[in-house]
Amino acid sequence: MSQKILIVEDDATTAAFIARGLDEAGFGVERAGTGRDGLFMASDAAIDAIILDRMLPEMDGLAVLAAVRAAGIATPVLLLSALGTPDDRLTGLEAGADDYLAKPFLFGELLARLKLLLRRGNGTGGPVTALRVADLEMDLLARRVRRGSRMIALQPREFRLLEYLLRHPDQVVTRTMLLEGVWDYHFDPGTNVIDVHISKLRRKLEEAGEPPLLHTVRGAGYRLGLA
Amino acid sequence: MSALPGRLQRLLAASSTRLVLAAFAIQMLLVSLAMASVYVAAQRQIAARDQELVIDLRDDLLAAWRAGGATEVTTFINARLALSGSNHALLLADATGSALAGNLPGQPAGLSDRNWQRLELAGPRLAAGPYLVLLTRLDGGLSLLVGQASARGDALLLAVVEALAASLALTVPAALGLALLLGRLSAARVSGISRVAEAVSSGDLSRRAPRDGSEDAYDRLAGVINAMLDRLEGLVSELRTVTDGLAHDLRSPLTRLRGRVERAQAGEPDPEVLDAMASDLDRVVTMLTTALQISRAEAGIGREHFSRTDVAELLADTADIYAPVAEDQGIALVAQAPGGLMIPLHRPLVQQALGNAIENALRHAHGARTITLSANATADGVAVIVADDGPGIPPENRELALCRFGRLDPARGADGDLAGGMGLGLALVSAVARMHGGNVELGSNEPGLRLAIHLPAAQPPAASPPSAPAVH
């Protein structure tokens, strides 16, 4: 059964653009054009996640969010906003959003973040001491990384980066997700800092003859996994 | 009131006029009170003197009575009347009221039994007029009447009243004139200020209120208003710079984008062209976001998101992000700060400011070997220092480097360099420092650029209301 996403967005073009993308990605989509309708539909238990615009007619997005949370509905909410400053993000998160994305955004970014939210919902439970993707293994206690029988020596920052990737195996993670998730850095640096991090890490993970593990996903980000 | 001519009505309605009139009325009231008390005091003084004279004379007569009875009194009265003329009324009367001695024909009509009384008297040996009269009963049914003409005292009192009236006649117009003059003077000084305000609201931001250096209330008001206008003019000119700068800098990526769209429309879209278009768009968005962020930081929005932060940790994290990029350029990025430097700050913004400073060094410190992030405690907080060993910025250009859209090389950045290269990078650093109540200082690292961000530990003054500008 496909997961169902509620899009609360008053701009029809944006809503249609998101809906088409989600549909292609295999999600079921519900749409609301006003805050009031959105609030009404959010109480539907069949909704798995909500994409909520901040500026809505009739009822502001933050007010909808507050009402949803006050009603005890824990459905993950991704807040969309035209305001891209750190304060708007913090305000959104304080109001109970699970993630925040500034407009304009790449659909790839939205999709990657949405999938992260949906997966976060069904957490693994229990402390994890080892992470693994294909023949790549990370021992979190000994802080050692091995590919097959080969030990890989990583700098602390490379270790943090790889740990984040290993915790999201076979998922697309974007540059901004890495900046936020690994370094708690909420600003898009002008330079290609993440690309350099990734290419350094990739050189250590993939020696000659080994199948590629760390893939670049065009227009979106990176993915750790075989093929 | 409707009958009043419009001008007078306006004059009365003006609060300065009302103030002047009230001051005048109070002044007049005080003057009238003073004059009334002078009048009363003079009247009392005169009456007391008359009474004293009467009592003295009566006492002398009583002494004569005790010495020699009616005969002695008659002698005394005749001697006294010969001496002092007609200003005294004297009478020794028998039980029937007929005169035994004195200059009154008999007991006057209207005489009562009271000791003191005021009577109109007249007689052949007596000046007609009001008299203050003292009646004394003697043994054997005799009575003694002693009177003093009060006409002289009344004349004196009249003179006092006339003097008072004359001085009032001088005082009233003088006080009224003075009050009006003062009112007009203060109105003139206020209208000087209000003319400036009118000029400013009609668009001339360069006008300033005149000052006379007296440091009085009007002069201070003019000073405060001028300071406010200085700040306004600064903000407006900065806003103009931003708008012009943004318009100019957005033009190049947008023009390129327009061209690329046109080419893509003409034929099969080339993935490389699409990538270039995407990064042009990213550039535009980054510029807008950064410009917006600077404005918000300048306005102090976001102070409610301050949190106590370990500065050493912040520096280490930030260095971590940029170290590989620096490494690729052959530059070592080092963070070194003592532990325990905890101050309240806006973590995301300070980190962004640090990032901008590092990117600035990476971009402009040609030939640098090391970029050092360090921090130390200062008297009022923490100084965070980003230092490189590149060519540095000459002192005369340092202020410009911190301005929005301040570019040291006018030719550079025309290709729509990212935020850091647009002159926005260091302006954001400076805005973030000011938001924390601190400042940015550019100096020499001998060699290289030393950028110090001063962050006071005390919270900056009361945050402005966190109302976001409406952006759709």
* ipTM for this model: 0.84
Q: Are residues B151 and B243 in the same domain?
A: no
Q: Are residues A18 and A44 in the same domain?
A: yes
Q: Which domain holds residue B349?
A: 235-456
Residues A77 and A97 sit within 8 Å (Cβ to Cβ): yes
CATH number of the domain within which B385 lies? 3.30.565.10
Residue B105 token pair: 């024909």
Task: State pLDDT tens for residues A103-131.
Answer: 888 888 899 999 999 987 665 556 788 99
Give the closest of B301, B302, B322 to A193, CB-based: B322
| CA distance linking residue B233 with residue B205, whole number of Å | 6
| CA distance linking residue B275 with residue A169, whole number of Å | 27
| CA distance linking residue B318 with residue B365, whole number of Å | 19
- Residue B323's pLDDT is what? 92
Strands B342-345 and B381-388: unpaired
Residues B302 and B464 sit within 8 Å (Cβ to Cβ): no
Higher pLDDT, A189 or B385: B385
A88 Cα to chain B: minimum distance (Å): 9
Of residues A135, A138, A163, the one with CA closest to residue A226: A135
Q: Is residue B435 part of a domain?
A: yes
Phi, psi of A78 (to 5 degrees): -105, 120
| CA distance linking residue B281 with residue B287, whole number of Å | 10
| CA distance linking residue B65 with residue B316, whole number of Å | 124
A146 Cα to chain B: minimum distance (Å): 22
Residue in chain B closest to A105 (alpha carbons) equals B282
Q: Mean pLDDT over residues B158-165, rounded?
A: 84
Q: Are residues A198 and A134 in the same domain?
A: yes
| CA distance linking residue B357 with residue B448, whole number of Å | 13
CB B292 to CB A85 under 8 A? yes
- Residue A52's pLDDT is what? 95
Task: State pLDDT tens for residues B163-188.
Answer: 888 888 888 888 888 888 887 887 88
* B461 three-state secondary structure: coil
Q: Are residues A153 and A174 in the same domain?
A: yes
B362: contact with A, CB 8 A cutoff: yes
Given B110, B125, B158, the domain boundary residue is B158
Given A87, A102, A121, the domain boundary residue is A121
- Residue B4's pLDDT is what? 56
For residue A31, give the H/E element and its range. strand A28-32
Residues B250 and B257 sit within 8 Å (Cβ to Cβ): no
Edge-first strand listing for the sheet containing A4-8? A28-32, A4-8, A49-53, A77-81, A99-102
For residue B302, list chain A residues with Cβ-Cβ distance below 8 A: 85-87
A192: contact with B, CB 8 A cutoff: yes
- Residue B1's pLDDT is what? 46
CATH number of the domain within which B27 lies? 3.30.450.20
Q: Which of residues 8-37 of A touch B (CB under 8 A)?
A: none
Q: Is residue B240 part of a domain?
A: yes
Residue B6 token pair: 């419009």
B/e letters for B317-327, b = 16+ CB within 10 Å, e = fewer, are bbbbbbbbbbe
| CA distance linking residue A143 with residue A139, whole number of Å | 5
* A118 three-state secondary structure: helix
Q: Are residues A45 and A82 in the same domain?
A: yes
CB B346 to CB A185 under 8 A? no
Q: Are residues A213 and A156 in the same domain?
A: yes
| CA distance linking residue B111 with residue B90, whole number of Å | 14
Q: Are residues A53 and A111 in the same domain?
A: yes
Neighbours of B245 (CB within 10 A): 21
CB B317 to CB A184 under 8 A? yes
Q: Are residues A183 and A217 in the same domain?
A: yes
Strands A77-81 and A99-102: parallel
Q: What angle do CA B191, B195, B196 make, to 5 degrees?
A: 120
A1 Cα to chain B: minimum distance (Å): 35
Neighbours of B116 (CB within 10 A): 10
Residue in chain A closest to B322 (alpha carbons) equals A193
CB A219 to CB B278 under 8 A? yes
**Which residue reads 């009509």 in tokens?**
B109
Given A78, A100, A121, the domain boundary residue is A121
If you ran DSSP here, which 8-state letter would residue B436 be given? T
Give the closest of B317, B320, B349 to A86, CB-based: B349
Q: Are residues B146 and B277 in the same domain?
A: no
Q: B233: which residues sit within 8 A by CB, 6+ positions away?
A: B205, B206
- Residue A215's pLDDT is what? 94
CA dist list (Å): B412 to B248, B353, B417: 13, 22, 8
Q: Burial-class residue A167 by CB neighbours within 10 Å (0-12, 13-18, 19+).
A: middle
CA atoms within 13 A on the CB side of A162: 31
A85 Cα to chain B: minimum distance (Å): 6
CB B346 to CB A219 under 8 A? no
Range of lowest pLDDT (A24-28, B319-323, B396-400): B396-400
Residues A48 and A4 sit within 8 Å (Cβ to Cβ): yes
Interface with A, mutate which of B272, B280, B317 (most A CBs under 10 A): B317
User: Residue B408 pLDDT > 80, yes or no?
Assistant: no
Q: Are residues B101 and B246 in the same domain?
A: no
Given B158, B183, B202, the domain boundary residue is B158
Give the number of domains in chain A.
2
CATH number of the domain within which A139 lies? 1.10.10.10
B280 Cα to chain A: minimum distance (Å): 12
CATH number of the domain within which A59 lies? 3.40.50.2300
Q: Burial-class residue B211 by CB neighbours within 10 Å (0-12, 13-18, 19+).
A: middle
Q: Is residue B8 part of a domain?
A: no
B472: contact with A, CB 8 A cutoff: yes
For residue A157, list chain B residues with Cβ-Cβ distance below 8 A: 320, 323-324
Q: What angle do CA B323, A167, A227 make, to 5 degrees?
A: 90
Q: Are residues A102 and A12 in the same domain?
A: yes
If you ran DSSP here, which 8-state letter would residue B105 be given? S
Q: What percent of chain B has pLDDT over 70?
A: 88
Q: Is residue B404 part of a domain?
A: yes
Residues A123 and B331 sit within 8 Å (Cβ to Cβ): no
Over chain A, what is the mean pLDDT? 89
Q: Is residue B239 part of a domain?
A: yes
Residues A51 and A3 sit within 8 Å (Cβ to Cβ): no
Q: What share of chain A is helix, strand, coil (3-state, %, to 5)?
A: 40, 20, 40
B472 Cα to chain A: minimum distance (Å): 6
CB B351 to CB A185 under 8 A? yes
Q: Mean pLDDT over residues B123-132, rounded?
A: 79
Q: How many residues does chain A have?
A: 227
Q: Are residues B38 and B128 in the same domain?
A: yes
Give the closest of A82, A87, A189 to B302, CB-based: A87
Indicate the pLDDT class of residue B85, thresholds 50, 70 and 90. low
Q: B108: which residues sit within 8 A by CB, 6+ positions away?
A: B119, B121
Q: Which domain holds residue A71?
A: 4-121
B377 Cα to chain A: minimum distance (Å): 24
B/e letters for A130-146, b = 16+ CB within 10 Å, e = fewer, are ebebbebbbeeeeeebe
Question: For residue B207, which amino acid is it?
Answer: R
Of residues B209, B182, B155, B199, the one with CA closest to residue B43: B155
Phi, psi of B248 (to 5 degrees): -65, -45
Q: Are residues B308 and B438 in the same domain?
A: yes
Torsion sign over Cα B358, B362, B363, B364: positive
Residues A8 and A38 sit within 8 Å (Cβ to Cβ): yes
User: Residue B471 pLDDT > 80, yes or no?
Assistant: no
For residue B420, list chain A residues with Cβ-Cβ distance below 8 A: 190
Edge-first strand listing for the sheet containing A214-217? A172-174, A221-224, A214-217
Phi, psi of A131 (to 5 degrees): -120, 150
Q: Are residues B263 and B365 in the same domain?
A: yes
Residue B437 token pair: 């109540």
Q: What percent of chain A has pLDDT over 70?
A: 96
| CA distance linking residue A192 with residue B271, whole number of Å | 19
Task: State pLDDT tens for residues A23-71.
Answer: 999 999 999 999 999 999 998 888 999 999 998 888 889 999 999 999 9
For residue B418, list chain A residues with Cβ-Cβ distance below 8 A: 190-191
Range of lowest pLDDT (A15-19, B153-157, B232-236, B310-314): B153-157
Residues A189 and B355 sit within 8 Å (Cβ to Cβ): yes
CB A193 to CB B420 under 8 A? no
Task: State pLDDT tens for residues B201-244.
Answer: 888 888 888 888 888 888 888 889 998 898 888 778 777 777 77
Over chain B, what is the mean pLDDT? 81
Residues B134 and B55 sit within 8 Å (Cβ to Cβ): yes
Give the number of domains in chain B.
2
B306: contact with A, CB 8 A cutoff: no
Q: Cis peptide leading into B271, omega within 30 of 0?
A: no
- Residue B472's pLDDT is what? 39
For residue A82, list chain B residues with Cβ-Cβ distance below 8 A: 471-472
For residue A156, list chain B residues with Cβ-Cβ distance below 8 A: 320
B322: contact with A, CB 8 A cutoff: yes
A179: contact with B, CB 8 A cutoff: yes
Given A93, A121, A149, the domain boundary residue is A121
CB A187 to CB B324 under 8 A? no
For residue A92, list chain B residues with Cβ-Cβ distance below 8 A: none
| CA distance linking residue B454 with residue B80, whole number of Å | 105
Neighbours of B229 (CB within 10 A): 18
Q: Is residue B243 part of a domain?
A: yes
A141 Cα to chain B: minimum distance (Å): 22
| CA distance linking residue A115 with residue A98, whole number of Å | 12
Residue B114 token pair: 């009271």
CB A200 to CB B324 under 8 A? yes
CB A191 to CB B349 under 8 A? no
Indicate the pLDDT class of residue B130, thresholds 50, 70 and 90. confident
Q: B278: which residues sit within 8 A by CB, 6+ positions away?
A: A219
Q: Are residues B319 and B450 in the same domain?
A: yes
